[in-house]
Structure 1
Amino acid sequence: MLAILQNTPLWVYATLLFLLYCGFKARTPHHESRFALLLTPLVLIAWSLFSLNLNLDPGLSLSCWLCAMLLGAVSAWLIFSRRGVTLDDAETGLIVPGTWKVLMLYLLFFTVNYYFGYQDDVHPEQSSTSHILLLKAVVSGFVCGLIGTRSLKFYWLLRTLQAQRPPLGTR
């Protein structure tokens, strides 16, 4: 176990510390900008698709990824509540109540990527088997759907709240 930690590159620890910082910060009410809400799903989908290994069976890998992403999306829709979310003062972003769920998502995301990265480095012959590649596609799709749908759900809420505000001349 100690060898695993010693051979882990420093940038991985820096990434973990950044995710922990952001996750603990999300325990208190925080601002979510329109830009971040739109960028997060795009980056995750691109990263997730880029990490797929489509050498063995591209159709099966993409199908598993898509099904898992849809399952992650449904889970996010049920897990993340709109309760307590309000427009910020400039009415261009949201103030989201604090929650531990964001920290859990970040740790899940990090753990999944760390595990598969470790497997690729230590057991490359096992990490290229079809069942491991499909597992990676499923896990990657689920996490992508979970985090991406949270952002999209809050983006749609932002648009709804902006549409409900009174016109500028009547305030």
Structure 2
Amino acid sequence: MLEILRHTPSWVYIVFTAILYLGLSACFSQRLEIRRILYLPAVFIVLSVYGLIMGQTSSFLVPLSWVGGFAVATGGMYYLTLARRHRYSRDGDYLVAPGDPGILIVSMFFFAVKFWFGYTAATRPEWTAMPLYPISDNLCSGLVVGFFGGRGLAQWSIAKKRTPEELVAPNGA
């Protein structure tokens, strides 16, 4: 195991630290700036689609698996996020999202799975030639992007539906 960590590129540790920070911060109630809610999901979508295009696969199932994972996760997270209790800051410029350790758990799970795909590609390149490998990898990528995309989309739609009486949050937040 220590050998795996020694040969891991340094950028992976940076990504891990960023995901860990975002996941830990999501465990607590957050003030989300309404105009920035969709930034992170947009970055994930751009990077994931770029990776999908650069994969240069001839099978239509690979992009289809990404789209399927994206659609399922986006829809699921959209409705799960809508079910959570969000409120607004007094000035109305922030959406106050409740803390959720599920974000940390799911983020770490997806990181571990994507790390495994990268490790496998580096140590067993013959596996990447199997048809199920790129399909599974891109399905996982679609799920990750959809997870954050659905959450961001739901928070954005909550923010856009606000009414004047909702601008003052209960408990003085």
Uncovered stretches (5+) of structure 1, i.e. residues with no partner: 167-171
Q: Which amino acid aligns with 1:9?
A: P
TM-score w.r.t. the length of structure 2 is 0.83
3-state SS, counterpart of residue 80 of structure 1: helix
Whole-angstrom CA distance in 2 between matches of 1:50 and 1:125: 23
Counterpart mapping for 1:1-171 below 5 A: 1-52=1-52, 53-57=55-59, 59-161=60-162, 164-165=163-164
- The answer (yes or no) to whether the contact 1:72–1:146 under 8 Å persists in 2 is yes
3-state SS, counterpart of residue 57 of structure 2: coil
TM-score w.r.t. the length of structure 1 is 0.84
Deviations 1:131-159 (A, max 9, x none): 10111111111121111100100000001
Whole-angstrom CA distance in 1 between matches of 2:4 and 2:27: 30
Shift of 1:13: 2.1
- The answer (yes or no) to whether the contact 1:126–1:132 under 8 Å persists in 2 is yes
Whole-angstrom CA distance in 1 between matches of 2:106 and 2:56: 26
Q: Larger deviation: 103-112 or 66-75?
A: 103-112
- C-alpha RMSD of the superposition: 1.9
3-state SS, counterpart of residue 154 of structure 1: helix
Relative distance call for 1:38 and 1:97 in structure 2 (3 A) is same
* Match in the other structure for 1:169: none
Shift of 1:98: 0.8
- The answer (yes or no) to whether the contact 2:27–2:99 under 8 Å persists in 1 is yes
Deviations 1:58-81 (A, max 9, x none): x32222211121111222134334
